[in-house]
Structure 1
Amino acid sequence: MTALHHARARAEAFAHSLGLRVPILLGPMAGACPPSLSIAVGNAGGLGSAGVLLMKPEAIKAWAAEVRSGTNGAFNLNLWIPDPAPRRDAAAEAAVREFLKGFGPEVKPEAADATPPDFAAQCEAMLEAAPAFISSVMGLYPPEFVARMKAKGIKWIANISSVTEAKAAEAAGADIIAAQGMEAGGHRGAFDAATAEANMIGLFSLLPAVVDAVKLPVVATGGIGDARGVAAALLLGASAVQIGSGFLRCPEAKIAPAWADALGRTLPEQTRISRVFSGRPGRSIATAYVQAATAPGAPSPAPYPVQRGLTQAMRDAAVKADNIDGIQAWAGQSSAMARAVPAAEVVRDLWEGASALLG
């Protein structure tokens, strides 16, 4: 068997072991994974998913119920591992509020008090929803939660951004490793927020190193936008690929039209990693707000989730006005490959194209 055939056979076997028809996973994007998108991906044979970071327990269970009503396919629920409580700085927050006046409505001081939903309650809701997969990002689940997942037969997909993190995830009991290259859109998955920008590794360096370092199957994610990227990732040892930005222009994603249109014309160098939306490093389109907020002299972003609270009004107003300059327009470096076609067509073309390349 040639290397090409071996790569394809490994991916097909992995997909079948998970109950999937194709080794294509939808990236769990918080705020951009409506049930309609996962239903479409699941019915096309891939794995649907939701980033539940911002969802309260009842919303998590409702999302799972709606996806189950529309597809027999498996799905994945993803949750951030919480950071320590942020250090507050009233003067720094005031400077950010003043800066934001140029991009949206006036921000009230109490906006900085935003807190995420209760992590423990979200974990309970995920267990109650009983998906086939639960994934983690920004760290590792505590051992007692891992044990309860295993008892329910739920597989744990651990998102990592370095070989060191991959080894830690394997030791903690992960079933599958999702290796996130620096090309990925949205938030960086680094366990340590303080070093996230310093330790950025491209997928083509990260993926084979992780495959060599762990015994678990590895899913490649970050900058994969077409069949060539899928085939390349499988040749580098991945058993499947996970794609986020590549699905955002699909009608089932239901994102703001200005964001969807901008994705289609965004070159790799027109994305930027910054903390200016949430306080955590994330890759977005370099919009007018991003460029101004990262320019010399701009106020330093507040930590997560304070910065997220401060920018909420701007982001909401921009979505309502369909104004790309204030939208939190997450985008991977291959976003221009995303197509405004149904998600099922994206899944089909990705796998049929990769299969042809792999013989």
Structure 2
Amino acid sequence: MPGDLSLLDTDLPVWAAPMAGGPSTPALVTAAARAGGLGFLAGGYKTPADLAAQIAQVRANGAVFGVNLFAPNPVPVAPDAYRAYAHALQPEADRCGLTLPTETVTEDDDAWADKLDLLFNSPVPLVSFTFGLPRPDTVRALQDAGSLVAQCVTTPSEALVAAESGADLLIVQASAAGGHSATLTPDRPLASVDLPDLVSDVRHTVPLPVIATGGIATPADVAAALRAGACAAMVGTVLLRTHESGASAPHKSALVDPAFTETVLTHAFTGRPARALRNRFTDTYQPLAPLGYPALHHLSGPLRRAATSAGDTDLIHLWAGTGYRQAHEESAAQALTRLADRT
């Protein structure tokens, strides 16, 4: 039955969000399932082979889980704007011994077709999409293979389009979320709507089950999302410091460092809007950065990796939602059950 979440066999109404770039390890996804919830492997930025290996690892643990993919929805960047931004970043790269590709714009689709083939041939319980919409025939093929399909949306109008594409359920994300926004229109300002209100608006627009996410950091936040009509709440930032998280040591430390006092929405790191701890990079380069994904992601990637290796939090993309101070050093199971008020 489309939209039947009972097929996922979960009884904890708090799930672990997919966090691309390392935090969402197989251990974290398995821990979420063993706590009674559900976790997602983050397919973004992984090679198909690496994603297949992680799927096999989680499957061997007997976990119910999902896989999240970045659906292609590129934001073209003007060549002149790209070159100007690359030249602006080069002094930072010089200090790291790097030369940025100032003339070569790298665009890709994150191995979209190969990752879909993997999921067609090795179905998982739940597949979710963010950044863009898969074609309806892609959704049907995944459903025919035995997967439920979820679409990440940020507005009621996006929810309508997702429903028309055939999605079984919706992941409704508020702008308070850490990391990239799921917006389908990254060139437009994000609406600042409280998550319970957004969930209610979507539920009144589309008759599909809703998973709520974005800024959830306390049991009260979870309860508010469920009262608004969500079937479950999904959290990411509050899991970044858990034992199973693959977040970098500088990232984990920054979440509790009093020097970091707020989060900001920025496209300076990747060319798509994302929420991060405010640091020197966001202050300096947000005013200079053009929109352009994935071009800016590839441009700044070497610099961000070097900064992470050096522990230089001035230059790292410290993804964080507004409730980042609630990220504790504990097991993922403790975090999820605490948020579900089942401690």
TM-score, normalization by structure 2: 0.91
* 2: CA distance, partners of 1:237 / 1:157: 17
For 2:117 and 2:57, how far apart are their aligned partners in 1?
Answer: 18
Q: Which runs of 5+ in 1 are unaligned?
A: 1-13
1:184 Cα deviation from its structure 2 partner: 0.4
Q: 1:250 to 1:193 in 2, by over 3 A?
A: same
Check the 8 A contact 1:167/1:214 in 2, yes or no.
yes
Tell me the distance in 1 between the aligned counterparts of 2:107 and 2:5.
Answer: 40
Change (3 A) 1:15 1:149: closer
Q: How far apart, CA to CA, are the structure 2 residues paired with 1:25 and 1:252?
A: 14
Q: CA deviation at 1:167?
A: 1.5
Name 1:309's counterpart in structure 2.
298
**Take 2:151 and 2:203, find their aligned partners in 1: how far apart are those partners?**
14
Instruction: Report whether the alignment pairs 1:140 with 2:133.
Output: yes
Please tell me whether residue 37 in structure 1 is matched to residue 28 in structure 2: yes
2:244 pairs with 1:244: no
State which of 212, 227, 250 in structure 2 corresponds to 1:220.
212
Aligned to 1:289: 281
**For the structure 1 residues 125 and 347, does the alpha-carbon distance in structure 2 shift closer, same or farther, using more than 3 Å as the test?**
same
Distance verdict in 2 for CA 1:339–1:182, change over 3 Å: same
Cα deviation code 1:241-264 (max 9, x no counterpart): 111111111121121222112123
Q: Deviations over 1:124-146 (max 9, x none)?
A: 11222311000011232111111
Partner letter of residue 30 of structure 1?
Answer: A
User: Which residue does 1:3 correspond to in 2?
Assistant: none
Change (3 A) 1:211 1:85: closer
Q: Tell whether 2:165 aligns with 1:172.
A: yes
- Describe the SS at the equivalent of 2:117: helix
Query: Residues 78 and 230 from structure 1, CA distance in 2 versus in 1: closer, same or farther, beyond 3 angstroms?
Result: same
CA separation of 1:64 and 1:170: change in aligned 2, threshold 3 A: same
Give the distance between the partners of 1:221 and 1:85, measured in 2 at CA. Answer: 24
| Equivalent residue for 2:175, pick from 167, 178, 182 | 182
- Relative to structure 1, the CA distance from residue 94 to residue 140 in structure 2 (aligned partners, 3 Å threshold; closer, same or farther) is closer
Query: What is the alpha-carbon root mean square deviation over aligned residues?
Result: 2.1
User: Which amino acid counterpart does residue 156 of structure 2 have in structure 1?
Assistant: V
Equivalent position to 1:233, from 200, 220, 225 = 225
| Number of aligned residues | 335
Q: 1:46 aligns with which of 37, 40, 63?
A: 37
| Equivalence for 1:331 | 320
Contact 2:74 2:294 in 1 (8 A): no
**In the alignment, is the contact (CA less than 8 A) between 1:267 and 1:333 conserved in 2?**
no
Distance 1:302 1:210, change over 3 A: closer
Partner of 1:151: 144
Q: 1:207 to 1:115 in 2, by over 3 A?
A: same
Residues 254-293 of structure 1: matches in 2 within 5 Å?
254-265=246-257, 270-293=262-285
CA distance in 1, matches of 2:258, 2:333: 23
Between the aligned residues of both structures, percent identity stands at 29
Pairing of 1:90-101 with structure 2 (within 5 A): 91-101=80-90
Structure 1 residues 222-244: Cα deviation after superposition (integer angstroms, max 9, x where no partner):
00012111111111111101111
User: What SS is found at the alignment partner of 1:109?
Assistant: coil
Other structure's SS at 2:187 match: helix
Amino acid at match of 2:211: V
State the alpha-carbon separation in 2 of the partners of residues 17 and 268 from structure 1.
Answer: 42
Aligned counterpart, 2:153: 160
Instruction: Choose the corresponding residue for 2:17, options 27, 32, 49.
Output: 27
Aligned residue type for 1:67: V
Q: Deviations over 1:157-183 (max 9, x none)?
A: 111000011122122211111110010
Deviations 1:14-39 (A, max 9, x none): 87552113122111111121212112
Evaluate the alpha carbon distance shift between residue 267 and residue 245 of structure 1 in structure 2; reply closer, same or farther with a 3 A threshold. Answer: farther
**Equivalent pair of 2:77/2:295 in contact (CA under 8 Å):** no
Q: d(CA) in 2 for partners of 1:64 and 1:338?
A: 26
Q: 1:338 to 1:239 in 2, by over 3 A?
A: same
Q: Which moved more, 1:113-122 or 1:241-250?
A: 113-122
Structure 2 CA distance for partners of 1:215 and 1:266, relative to 1, 3 Å: farther
Equivalences for 1:70-81 in 2 at 5 Å? Answer: 71-81=61-71
Q: Match for residue 121 of structure 2?
A: 128
Residue 63, structure 1, aligned to residue 54, structure 2: yes
Name the structure 2 match of 1:4: none
SS of equivalent residue, structure 1 residue 251: coil
Residue 95 of structure 1, CA deviation: 2.2
Where is the helix percentage greater, Structure 1 or Structure 2?
1
Q: Which moved more, 1:101-110 or 1:249-258?
A: 101-110
For the 8 Å contact 1:20–1:73, the answer to whether it is kept is no
Quote how far apart the aligned CAs of 1:194 are.
1.6
Work out whether residues 269 and 317 of structure 2, in 8 Å CA contact, stay in contact via their aligned partners in 1: yes
SS at match of 2:309: helix
Unaligned runs of 5+ in 2: none
Corresponding residue SS for 1:50 = strand
Per the TM alignment, residue 113 of structure 1 is displaced from its structure 2 partner at its CA by 2.1
Question: Hey, what's the Cα distance between the residues in 1 that align with 2:157 and 2:260?
Answer: 27
- Are the structure 2 counterparts of residues 331 and 289 from structure 1 closer, same or farther at C-alpha, using a change threshold of 3 Å? same
> Is the Cα–Cα contact under 8 Å of residues 266 and 285 in structure 1 kept in the other structure?
no
Amino acid at match of 1:188: S
